[in-house]
Chains A and B, each alone.
Chain A
């Protein structure tokens, strides 16, 4: 089918402001938006710039705004969108070139919640024990691929870029609810701060945007309840 792609472009070496360019591509309805972008880049306009790697929704490189919603270009099929497709960079991050945004701040926010297992006990000879039920308690939040689709769909984050944002909260949840972890109190201290969990207004945009179907709002609510009622 014939598809018209309207892509928001910006070249820092030449442009003062962004502009939209329109490209026509011939493509299968079952192809990915990423395939359409590749067709443009490879055969029409080599200057078009975007991140991509695994092309099947695991590496988290190609989150972008597609027809107004945050999605992964490699996990969105043309047939879901129709013949007119608009593509813009993620909102709320600095655009460096075309669909390439600055991720450094995003990773700094992630790092600020101590996203690693904290355990002060001596290391055992074999594995630490964990029941399947304990493992299940944080299964959903282990799926995060750090694509930033959630954080850049979050209105409180748009208005306050220092808010740790849903992605960092998801990763805090992944450790706080891990029975092997002993860093819950330090993390909750951070998350109870000014730029922590209370900036969340329960908009649910994050949950809608997540390409991994993580129940993000639910995870954030679990953190809030832990802070309020059962401070560890």
Chain B
């Protein structure tokens, strides 16, 4: 079926909904999502969203900017970081006006709490900056934005799976999507397309990410020759529930929780004497790895303890109810009495589709925009997170850049118009779907996916080196070859999730290759990317963004300078 609108937003998490809300009533918008909007992964974010409101103590957005840049190990574009941190304040008020039920101070203001890497006066001590709704801040953002979209009669296409992007003569013209319920393939013709398709944490085995988090938008952009920026920077959150990867918010440490090794030692005292357990995530994840390697994991195994037992049980129940529930459900543990077994869990892609501060996708080192194509949220790389994202800045990113993308789209629409679609714009998507639907090979998608995830955990995780990464590279070549021999069982049209899982696995493979190439090439350690064979940051050679592009089926590597304004790179200690 053919549809025509001014804008197509793909993805209905925080970034997509924020954009849709901003566009509602001003342009004709179609919002596509492969799940019902309220199922989106934004809903799993727990701890908070930062803005220098100063409700609890003195704070300034410039301090927030500094923390973000330092947290990102100086790979952030500082002009974009300023936009993020300055806009944050108005954005939080905007969310409150939309109905978001933040926790409150006794005076009725939005309450704020400590969060990792957020400090006062350029690193002197932790600051209360994270605005929160218990430990379900993402859930409340998602619900609030969806509710307001309902009120504005936003047109949703629920359970539509993105298949392709239509780019013709260097201009973006729409997307092709599969209606899951019927198996019908739809073409959405629009002069402006916003990808808000989320991250790709399912490339790893131990992850906090949803099963649907398979980087569909990013992979499709790569297939169209759009670069991926900084894919080697992937964040491992230090406190995932052991073996399951389910997130235990940093807010737990913000409220006073501490990490302990097998001897009961609060080991972060040795690694980050000032911020302790509130050091940035990349550092704590590495420190946990080192503790484990030196035999100080619990029972000699690969995990440590998160200790909330010294907190007031009322605080745990009031401010951390969801994680209390998770820990009780999945581990049978009362966190006010017993310690929680945790290990690093793949959590967030700092890299993604390169954009400018208005969400425009930019395709080269000169930041040349691809007309009509926008991206926001985790699928995008602005870059405000640099080499390591600070906690809470993801929720900020989606709201700030979701909104800014929409505002730029409105300006763009004054000139942009519907150019005629190329003939058979949906041809490649149809061919791909029929190829998978009729596949009868001997390889099982789930087996290949599991091997991919294991390979990425083993070789492209918290600790990397050239040997591991070369192993990963060869394995990926093998998996890609085997992927051409898959066979699926479901041949039907109605909700064929056998088909969509195969498409998603193909997307993960495309992205994994770029992660490994970026990591192999970056012979230094910075933020979330740690090379044991190159343990130091190397600003002389690598203070630059990676751009990886697929040209004629082969990956090619390029770079782009980092925008540095006020904060010159310094050694990063906490």
List chain A positions with a Cβ less than 8 A from chain B.
11-14, 30, 41-43, 45-47, 49-61, 75, 77, 96-97, 100, 103, 107, 111, 114-117, 119, 123-132, 134-135, 138-139, 142-143, 145-146, 175, 178, 180-181, 213
Report B-chain residues with C-beta under 8 Å of the C-beta of A129. Answer: 107-109
- 9 smallest A-B Cβ distances: which pairs? A117-B99, A42-B446, A46-B489, A129-B108, A116-B147, A46-B498, A59-B39, A47-B490, A53-B210
Q: Contact: A58 with B44, CB < 8 Å?
A: yes
Q: Could you say which of A43, A46, A56, A59 contacts B246, with CB atoms under 8 Å apart?
A: A56
Distance between Cα atoms of A103 and B144 in the complex (Å): 20
Sample of 24 A–B contacts (CB below 8 Å): A41-B446, A45-B489, A47-B489, A51-B35, A54-B39, A56-B246, A59-B43, A60-B39, A61-B36, A77-B330, A96-B495, A97-B492, A103-B36, A107-B36, A116-B150, A117-B98, A127-B93, A127-B97, A127-B102, A127-B110, A132-B103, A132-B106, A135-B102, A142-B140
Chain B contributes a number of interface residues (CB within 8 A of A) equal to 60
Q: How far is the CB of B206 from chain A (nearest CB, A)?
A: 13
Q: Contact: A132 with B104, CB < 8 Å?
A: yes
Q: Interface readout for B206-237 with A: 1 if CB under 8 Å, 0 if not? A: 00001110000000000000000000000000
Distance between Cα atoms of A47 and B490 in the complex (Å): 5
Given A115-B147, A127-B96, A142-B133, A54 contacting B41 (CB threshold 8 A): yes
Q: Could you say which of A30, A57, A96, A123 contacts B97, with CB atoms under 8 Å apart?
A: A123
Report A-chain residues with C-beta under 8 Å of the C-beta of B96. Answer: 127-128
Q: Interface readout for B131-147 with A: 1 if CB under 8 Å, 0 if not? A: 00110100110011001
Distance between Cα atoms of A53 and B444 in the complex (Å): 21
Q: Contact: B210 with A59, CB < 8 Å?
A: yes
Report A-chain residues with C-beta under 8 Å of the C-beta of B41. Answer: 53-54, 59
Interface positions, chain B 21-50, Cβ under 8 Å from A, are 35-36, 38-41, 43-44
Report B-chain residues with C-beta under 8 Å of the C-beta of A114. Answer: 151
Q: Interface readout for B320-356 with A: 1 if CB under 8 Å, 0 if not? A: 0010011001100000000000000000000000000
Q: Could you say which of A53, A61, A119, A135 contacts B104, with CB atoms under 8 Å apart?
A: A135
Q: Contact: B44 with A116, CB < 8 Å?
A: no
B488 part of interface (Cβ distance < 8 Å)? yes
Q: How far is the CB of B91 from chain A (nearest CB, A)?
A: 12
Report B-chain residues with C-beta under 8 Å of the C-beta of A57. Answer: 325-326, 329
B148 part of interface (Cβ distance < 8 Å)? yes
Q: How far is the CB of A62 from chain B (nearest CB, A)?
A: 10
Q: How far is the CB of A14 from chain B (nearest CB, A)?
A: 8
Q: How far is the CB of A48 from chain B (nearest CB, A)?
A: 9
Report B-chain residues with C-beta under 8 Å of the C-beta of A77. Answer: 329-330
Q: How far is the CB of A61 from chain B (nearest CB, A)?
A: 5
Name which residue of chain B comes closest to A11, CB basis: B492
Distance between Cα atoms of A75 and B98 in the complex (Å): 31
B477 part of interface (Cβ distance < 8 Å)? no
Distance between Cα atoms of A103 and B93 in the complex (Å): 33
Q: Contact: B211 with A53, CB < 8 Å?
A: yes
Q: Could you say which of B99, B109, B492 contacts A180, with CB atoms under 8 Å apart?
A: B99
Report A-chain residues with C-beta under 8 Å of the C-beta of B244. Answer: 56
